[in-house]
Structure 1
Amino acid sequence: MAASELIRGTDDVRPHVEVNVTTSTLPLTPHPPRVANGNPAGHTHSPPTAGDAHDGKNKHERSKLSSLLQNQLIHSLSSGLRRQCDYVKISVPEERADRLPTEWWKTAVAFLYALFNLVFTTVVITIVHERVPDKSVSPPLPDKFFDYVDRVPWAFNVTEVNGLILVGLWFVQWICLKHKSIIGRRCFFLIGTLYMYRCVTMYITTLPVPGKHMVCAPKLYNDSTGKIWRILRLISGGGLSLTSSHMMCGDFLYSGHTVMLTLSYLFIKEYSPPWMWWYRWFCWFLSASGVICILIGHEHYSIDVVIGYIATTRTFWWYHTMANTHTLRDAPNNYLSNTWWNVIFNFLERNVQTKVPVVFSSPVPLPSSCRQRYRMVEGGRDE
């Protein structure tokens, strides 16, 4: 604001003032300036000063700088989040794979171990058969169960049918398990070990036939060729009476049928989810009824069944206790490590660092839509 004239008259003359007003977008001054006579110059606007213009320029620059910093910060945060998400997706599967390695070659070794002991069992049966005393000379030993329960001829057929069903169910279940390599070598090792025990007990103590109804094949004595053919016939028929491949006697202590019935059920129960309780009870019924029918058919002494059950359950429980409780493996007071098969256990389970979860997977590749639907169903059941 500029004044063209100042006061030129006496006190009673009001001065004439010319004012040039310039509008601006800057904020108005809080108090209007006064003219020379001390009166306010009315409601007029103040012109922008050099300092105000400089402050406005600084504010504009600061606004641009803050916007730039904000954009850079958002970009860096989003990039960091993307990198973090990629890291999580990669690391978790690798960690799980390291804790439960497949190691199929170890499963193959365990399978060969089981196969060898099964074949060796047939050889021992053939040898023991030549030592079984004739039933006319050595009658059956007294058995308390036989005193109270008469023989039922078809009962042993029920035992073998139940055994075939249980083995078939376990095989299908094993094929559908995700960690089948680890579970498979556990199963093969236990089968091989239990039948190796059976070879020892059969060879050490040869019991007479448990019933006079049993028909034993004639003895071959020094006929090595005939013995080899008997071994091959026994292997081809699976050692079952249903296939007419088992006509030899002497393999009583302990019962191989009890081993397979009990072991199949234990594996089915251990590696099936809790929601399949009906399946577990059905398999238990097959196993229990099959074991009872062995005695009802008078095909084994009661001691054969009892020892077979004890040997199978204890070996299974000892092995899985060590496998599922990792603190026991290096514990100084772990008496389970005194078992002779602890070295084999360490070989098979060394790299298994956690308990094997019960997870099913398709044995054949499925389309992507089916895999997604299968995951949804499994996730709903787990919840």
Structure 2
Amino acid sequence: MAASHLTQNDDVHLHVEAVAPTNAPPNPLRVANGTPTCHASLPSTPTDAHEGKNEHKHSKLRSLFKQNELIDSLSNGLKRHCNYVKITVSEEWANHLPKEWWKTGVAFLYALFNLIFTTVVITIVHERVPDKSVSPPLPDKFFDYMDRVPWAFTVTEVNGLILVGLWLIQWIFLKHKAIVGRRCFFLIGTLYMYRCITMYITTLPVPGNHMVCAPKLYNNSTGKIGRILRLLSGGGLSLTGSHLMCGDFLYSGHTVMLTLSYLFIKEYSPPWMWWYRWVCWFLSASGILCILIAHEHYSIDVVIAYFVTTRIFWWYHAMANTHALHQAPSNYLSRTWWNPVFNFLEKNVQTTVPIVFECPVALPSSCRQRYKMVEGARDE
């Protein structure tokens, strides 16, 4: 009876031990044969349970502290990322490349004035051109080796119209068209102003006996004004029948437009459009060559026109694209007479103009919404 009672008590005691807290796991005592004794299953003392609870609380505090550190590090990283993406490239360009259309308007008026003044000078010089019977054409080495081709000058003017049209379309789609436009207008005005000077101070005889010049008007001011208006209305082209006067030989205006159009097309077109550049180069080079083949200008007229056009274009863009030259005391390019005009036009342009194209007409709201949806899907 006593044995059975003891066995029942042991069973009860072992059941209580099974449901005891696991915070302080028992450390059973073992005898030599490895069998645990009855003392190994005794419950933990109250002091051990209290220490286990404190240790559990400390472990929870440590885990919460680590979680807080992780959250703080993630939030700081997000803040740094947000501060980084606030400054975009477009905002930077907008600050360094202001449009300033009013300056473009001033440059346009400058070019328009010099183009009109050129027609006035041509009308004046025409009255001083010597007669072919008195002053025959000057000897020209190119003419000695190449006979005249009558239709060649038509090719020159067609190529010039194509190049000017291509450049106009390209300029319309440029994002920074205001800056590029005033550069173009300033160079056109300056080149034609130089042309007025060279035509007026030196009047060459006609380069060929095939040329038919309009009769001289002498003191007929009304007739001269009519010729100026006719020349302006036809753009100074032989295709339109507006250019019947002689004397505008030194230097060639057709060479100026062919060369300048190509230079602007090449400068403000991306490198991947190399085929487009080569086509424009061919149009420009063949047009200039056809001027000589048609015997419409002396070779010196074409050479000087090419030299003056390319050098002024390269000087201007060298100063515009190299900002260290703007205020450098050793910058000899700043000694040009047009340097104050350059500073006026390029004062607020703080970086090189990037080649970026955009649609010149605002898209409808439905098209913009579809564009945003396509961009969003592409980003995802």
Pairwise same-fold verdict (TM > 0.5) = yes
State how far apart, in whole Å, the 2-side matches of 1:374 and 1:265 are.
35
- The count of residues paired between Structure 1 and Structure 2 equals 357
Closer/same/farther in 2, CA of residues 133 and 83 from structure 1, 3 Å limit: same
For residues 190-201 of structure 1, what are the structure 2 equivalents within 5 Å? 190-201=187-198
State how far apart, in whole Å, the 1-side matches of 2:230 and 2:203 are.
22
- 1:7-57 Cα offsets, whole Å, 9 max, x none, are xxxxxxxxx9988845222333436499xxxxx953532332333222232
Which residue number corresponds to residue 6 of structure 1?
Answer: none
* Partner SS, residue 340 of structure 1: coil
The offset of 1:143, in angstroms, is 1.3
Q: Which structure has the highest helix share of the two?
A: 2
State how far apart, in whole Å, the 2-side matches of 1:365 and 1:69 are.
55
- Alignment of 1:60 onto 2:51: no
State how far apart, in whole Å, the 2-side matches of 1:265 and 1:244 are.
26
Q: 1:148 aligns with which of 145, 148, 151?
A: 145
For residues 229-378 of structure 1, what are the structure 2 equivalents within 5 Å? 229-366=226-363, 367-368=367-368, 369-370=370-371
State how far apart, in whole Å, the 1-side matches of 2:68 and 2:301 are.
80
Give the counterpart letter for 1:346 in structure 2: N
Asked if the contact 2:27/2:40 (under 8 Å) is kept, the reply is no
- 1:88-139 Cα offsets, whole Å, 9 max, x none, are 3331232232222222222222111111111111111111112112222221
State how far apart, in whole Å, the 2-side matches of 1:222 and 1:371 are.
67
Which residue number corresponds to residue 10 of structure 1?
Answer: none
State how far apart, in whole Å, the 1-side matches of 2:327 and 2:375 are.
39
State how far apart, in whole Å, the 1-side matches of 2:83 and 2:216 are.
71
Q: 2:160 aligns with which of 163, 171, 183?
A: 163
The offset of 1:191, in angstroms, is 0.8
* Partner SS, residue 250 of structure 2: coil
Which residue number corresponds to residue 86 of structure 1?
Answer: 82
Instruction: Give unmatched runs, 5+ long, in structure 1.
Output: 1-15, 35-39, 378-383
Closer/same/farther in 2, CA of residues 31 and 199 from structure 1, 3 Å limit: same
Give the counterpart letter for 2:312 in structure 1: T
Percent pairwise identity:
69
Give the counterpart letter for 1:62 in structure 2: H
* Partner SS, residue 86 of structure 2: helix
Closer/same/farther in 2, CA of residues 187 and 318 from structure 1, 3 Å limit: same
Give the counterpart letter for 1:145 in structure 2: F
Q: 1:113 aligns with which of 89, 110, 113?
A: 110
Asked if the contact 2:175/2:357 (under 8 Å) is kept, the reply is yes
Give the counterpart letter for 1:287 in structure 2: S
- 1:142-183 Cα offsets, whole Å, 9 max, x none, are 111112211111111110000000001111111122222221
Instruction: Give unmatched runs, 5+ long, in structure 2.
Output: 1-5
Which residue number corresponds to residue 51 of structure 1?
Answer: 47
TM norm structure 1: 0.85
Which residue number corresponds to residue 65 of structure 2?
Answer: 69
* Partner SS, residue 194 of structure 1: helix
- Alignment of 1:125 onto 2:122: yes
The offset of 1:375, in angstroms, is 12
* Partner SS, residue 44 of structure 1: helix
**The 10-residue stretch of structure 1 (17-26 or 75-84) with the greater mean CA deviation from structure 2:** 17-26
**The 10-residue stretch of structure 1 (45-54 or 178-187) with the greater mean CA deviation from structure 2:** 45-54
Give the counterpart letter for 1:338 in structure 2: R
**The 10-residue stretch of structure 1 (272-281 or 258-267) with the greater mean CA deviation from structure 2:** 272-281
Closer/same/farther in 2, CA of residues 76 and 342 from structure 1, 3 Å limit: same
Which residue number corresponds to residue 3 of structure 2?
Answer: none
State how far apart, in whole Å, the 1-side matches of 2:286 and 2:25 are.
103
* Partner SS, residue 358 of structure 1: coil
State how far apart, in whole Å, the 1-side matches of 2:81 and 2:116 are.
54
The offset of 1:346, in angstroms, is 1.5
Which residue number corresponds to residue 179 of structure 2?
Answer: 182
Closer/same/farther in 2, CA of residues 374 and 120 from structure 1, 3 Å limit: farther
**The 10-residue stretch of structure 1 (132-141 or 278-287) with the greater mean CA deviation from structure 2:** 132-141
TM norm structure 2: 0.86
Asked if the contact 1:28/1:46 (under 8 Å) is kept, the reply is no
Closer/same/farther in 2, CA of residues 371 and 315 from structure 1, 3 Å limit: farther
- 1:305-363 Cα offsets, whole Å, 9 max, x none, are 01000000111111111112222223332211111111111222222222222222222
Asked if the contact 1:122/1:234 (under 8 Å) is kept, the reply is yes
Asked if the contact 1:28/1:45 (under 8 Å) is kept, the reply is no
* Partner SS, residue 242 of structure 1: coil
